[in-house]
Amino acid sequence: ESIVGKIAAGEVVERPASVVKELIENSIDAGASSISVYIKKSGIAEIKVIDDGEGIGREDVLLAFQRHATSKIKDEKDLVRISSLGFRGEALYSIAQVSKIKITTQHRAENIGTEAYFVAGKLKWQKPAITEGTTIEVSDLFFNTPVRRKFLRSPYTEKANIIEVVQNYCLAFPEISFSLFIDEEEILNLPESETNYERICQIFGLETAETLKIKAISEGDYKVEIFWGEGLKGRYKVFVNRRYVREQSIVNSIYKAFQLQQPQFIIFITLPPQDVDFNVHPAKTMVRFANPQKIHNLIFKVAEQKHISTSS
């Protein structure tokens, strides 16, 4: 049981940044409009995520920590057109297996909430609490899997990974306000914004953002928006239906279509949920398209569009 648990955890929880990713996804799925992340010692000592989402009902709190417990799939059809970020019901269970977790949550429709504490997946105590939304505090990550802890990178690298993960959700969900503190230092503090461009300004600074070129196209239910230029030199990010993905074929198309010599772009692709499958790997950064050629063609078409002015 606990070995099975640790193996499952190994797939979902590779490093502190994967915990941050899963907790943020749950907050987004809960409809949060504000998400705050607090990190101590590159995530090993503590990862705390606070949201103002719908919360978890008193009856469901313990269930959420069980394997394959998800409230997000009601029937088989949901599997096909899933639009929430999580749907495997593995994250909380897996994180709990390799850490100590305190959850404080209250469902919007209830007038009392719950606080509960788990060590290595085992419930230690539980009591009523009054709160809003959900706060999850993961501490002592990998305390019971010393080998995994040993294989972590330097604190510097782990921190960089966490910042990258948070940044990716900031970009994918501009309407949500995000903050990130690492060892009490404010890394990000972004109010909600209305457009991708505004969010890019918040993250990279107006000076950088103003140097970027923007193009967009939409064809039926398919939409592509791309930002590129020197200011993003050395980085590229691909978002498909608001998920950050690694998809080399898209990257290659962009290089060709935009005649780029080096990575310097952020692209947002939107398409009907039934035309894309994220369920390729538990980490969900891989993607399969029903019609890859259509995406490829759109990237070439968007490259031929006129630039959008940012001064509006």
Question: Starting from the edge strand earliest in sequence, which strands make up the sheet with 213-219, in order?
Answer: 213-219, 222-228, 264-270, 235-240, 243-245
Told to check if 20 binds Mg ion by CB under 5 A, we report no
- Pick between residue 13 and residue 203 the one whose CB is nearest to ligand ADP: 13
CB 136 within 8 A of CB 101: yes
CB 159 within 8 A of CB 144: no
Helices (H) then strands (E): counts for the chain: 10, 15
Looking at 9, 64, 141, 171, which residue binds ligand ADP (CB under 6 A)?
64
The secondary structure of residue 147, as a DSSP letter, is H
State the nearest-atom distance from the C-beta of 26 to Mg ion, in Å.
Answer: 4
- Pick between residue 31 and residue 229 the one whose CB is nearest to ligand ADP: 31
Looking at 18, 26, 97, 168, which residue binds Mg ion (CB under 5 A)?
26
Told to check if 91 binds Mg ion by CB under 5 A, we report yes
Told to check if 105 binds Mg ion by CB under 5 A, we report no
Helix (H, G, I), strand (E, B) or coil at 124: strand
What track of x and - describes contact with ligand ADP for positions 111 through 150 (by CB under 6 A)? -----------------------x----------------
CB 211 within 8 A of CB 218: no
The secondary structure of residue 17, as a DSSP letter, is H
State the nearest-atom distance from the C-beta of 131 to ligand ADP, in Å.
Answer: 11
Told to check if 30 binds ligand ADP by CB under 6 A, we report yes
CA distance 102 to 107: 16
Told to check if 238 binds ligand ADP by CB under 6 A, we report no
Residues at the contact surface with ligand ADP, assessed by CB under 6 A? 22, 26-27, 29-30, 51, 53-56, 64, 69-72, 86-93, 134
